[in-house]
Amino acid sequence: MTFPIIIASAVIICCVMANRFSTKMGMPALILFMALGMIFGSDGIFKIPFDNFNLAQWICNISLLFIMFYGGFCTKWSTAKPVALRAAVLSTFGVVITALLTAVFCFFVLKFTFIGSLLAGAVISSTDAASVFSILRSKKLNLKYGTASLLEIESGSNDPVSFMLTTIGLSLINTSGEKNILFMIFSQIIFGISSGIVVAAFGNYFLCKKKLIPSGMENIFMIGLALLGYGAADLIGGNGYLSVYLMGIILGNCRIKNKKDLVLFFDGITGLAQIILFFLLGLLAFPSRLPQVLPAAIAIALFLLFVARPAAIFLLLKPFKATNSQCLLISWAGLRGAASIVFAISVISGGGIQSVHYDIFHIVFMISLLSVAFQGSLLPLVAKKLDMVDEESDVRKTFNDYQEESAITLMRIFVPKGHNWANRPIKDVSLPTDSLAIMIKRAGETVIPNGDTIILEGDSVILSVPSYDASGEANLDEIKIDKNHEWCEKKIADLDIPENTLIVMVRRGDETIIPRGKTVIHKDDVVITYQ
């Protein structure tokens, strides 16, 4: 028992160090995780024998569900809403078109079997959000026209569709009739969505409405919810990945206490899940077999990159008046990764290998390796060449864990006629806790006050106060206003705000404004609400 524990610890430490070196070298870390897996595998230096695909599938399913949940949990709906429809079209019809075109290519060009072609297309049809955003976030690279948010939702939500296509392909091996397949599609979608909504509502009730979860235990409760969402959906025939992704979106946009801490926690969990997935892929792989599948893998990878993915993107996004540059970048950003690995393992453990008659696992291995290495490494360069980089924003703002950093902020308090501060020295008025009066604006002049300075009617007293800490007990929330936000350039009195929500403060540059009904919210304001 001791030796496997030491090996596991050595693997994790090596992967973490590899992640550090990959950043310096500009190479995606996932490639190094695969390489480490091969070094430890049967054909590698340490020659650890491992070919238990059933165990590998169980481990991968658990890892992938946390990756899916985290992808949804980090999605900031206010930023993603404008592109949600386009992302949904890509994650459904786009996956189906990509899978069918790839299947046709495999059947007629590579001479795969019919079922083998369908399975190959299904397994490799989804894109990997973790791979794309590990590159964008490390480079702090935001994209124009809401493309970062579009990729975030599309990549996070297309795995369930790919899983459904893989399941259908496997069911055709033991054909049980068209009705069963139609019912499978219906149950995967409807039961998956229903399970996600119900479990998310359950979690929101305990976390936000009743606040019954002890402080510091929210992360453990969230783990339980993610497992429940997947298990409940799978039990009734629904799509577990769709369930946990939808749960993540709903809960990630609820007013959960210590949300930033939860994001950081699941960031670590997801990092470990990616290490496990890609290391396991390398561990299961036999490098000696790679030369045999290399021609087929290269052919499929090139077909995906230059034919299938662009055809789906241009066909579906052009009706939304997307630019050619945006379509080309989204086509290039269709990296293959963790989900394709899991689904390839599912094909083998599900008995599909007997009908495929070729090594689908090693083909997917090579496609994922080529995709992450070639497309992933060149993604920042391609974005710049296509003039798709948004220099005025930060890609981190599209995630729920982004927060502006400031130690103090300024508050302006206007003293009207009859105010209890009027005609009194500063030392005798009750200032907010830990605040300091640093200046007084009076009839166009600036007065630097001391304790004996008299406050007059019509003065604006400028206070320095501690910045709002979103991790506190108060149920406050910060909303960053960009040019696409529905509140931008509108008066507070004209906003459609829920009855139990109050705008308590507007932070504009170095100034903090106590809002009124006539206050207009501008681009780049930070609006603080209380619920």
Q: Which tokens go with 82? A: 């404008």
The amino acid sitting at 42 is S
Q: Average the pLDDT over 334-356 and give the result.
A: 76
- Nearest in space to 74 (alpha carbons), one of 7, 132, 16: 132
For residue 256, the tally of other CB atoms under 10 A from its CB is: 21
Give residue-wise pLDDT tens across range 198-231: 999 999 988 887 777 887 788 899 999 999 999 9
How far from each other are the two terminal CA atoms of the chain, in whole angstroms? Answer: 52
Over 70: is that where the pLDDT of 354 sits?
Answer: no
Q: Average the pLDDT over 92-110 and give the result.
A: 95
Q: Average the pLDDT over 155-166 and give the result.
A: 89
Task: Give the start-to-end residue ranges of the domains of the chain.
Answer: 2-41+53-67+76-183+272-398, 408-530
Q: What pLDDT does residue 472 have?
A: 45
Q: Average the pLDDT over 281-303 and give the result.
A: 89
Over 80: is that where the pLDDT of 29 sits?
Answer: no
Q: Which tokens go with 233? A: 């959906």
Model confidence at 471, pLDDT cuts 50, 70, 90, reads very low
Helix (H) or strand (E) holding 100: helix 95-108
Q: Which tokens go with 296? A: 């087929």
Cα distance between residue 4 and residue 447, in whole Å: 71
- Nearest in space to 94 (alpha carbons), one of 116, 61, 133, 127: 127
Overall pTM > 0.85? no
Give residue-wise pLDDT tens across range 117-150: 999 999 999 988 667 767 777 666 778 888 888 8
Q: Average the pLDDT over 343-357 and give the result.
A: 69
Q: CA separation (Å) from 436 to 339, 410, 459, 472, 517? A: 54, 10, 16, 22, 27
Give residue-wise pLDDT tens across range 411-445: 788 888 888 888 999 888 888 776 788 889 888 88
Model confidence at 406, pLDDT cuts 50, 70, 90, reads very low
Cα distance between residue 482 and residue 264, in whole Å: 25
Over 60: is that where the pLDDT of 357 sits?
Answer: no
Give residue-wise pLDDT tens across range 358-387: 688 889 888 988 888 888 888 889 999 999
Over 80: is that where the pLDDT of 401 sits?
Answer: no
Partners of 291 in the β-ladder: none
Coil vs helix vs strand at 412: strand
Q: CA separation (Å) from 79 to 74, 146, 149, 399, 408? A: 11, 8, 7, 9, 26
Kind of pairing between the strands at 490-491 and 476-480:
unpaired
Burial class of residue 329 in the structure, from the number of CB atoms within 10 Å of its CB (0-12 exposed, 13-18 middle, 19+ buried): buried
Cα distance between residue 304 and residue 161, in whole Å: 17
Look over the chain and give the mean of its residue pLDDT values, rounded to a whole number. Answer: 83
Over 70: is that where the pLDDT of 485 sits?
Answer: yes
Model confidence at 399, pLDDT cuts 50, 70, 90, reads low
- Angle between helix axes 53-73 and 240-252 (nearest 10 degrees) is 30
Give residue-wise pLDDT tens across range 253-285: 887 877 778 888 888 888 888 888 888 878 888
Cα distance between residue 131 and residue 127, in whole Å: 9
Q: What pLDDT does residue 254 have?
A: 84
Q: Yes or no: is domain 2-41+53-67+76-183+272-398 CATH 1.10.3720.10?
A: no
Residue 252, C-beta contacts closer than 8 angstroms, at least 6 positions apart: 72, 73, 74, 75, 76, 77, 259, 400
If one looks up domain 408-530 in CATH, what number appears?
3.30.70.1450
What percent of the residues of the chain are helix, what percent strand, and what percent coil, each to the nearest 5? 60, 10, 30
| CA 463-529-518 angle, 5° bins | 75
Cα distance between residue 470 and residue 401, in whole Å: 11
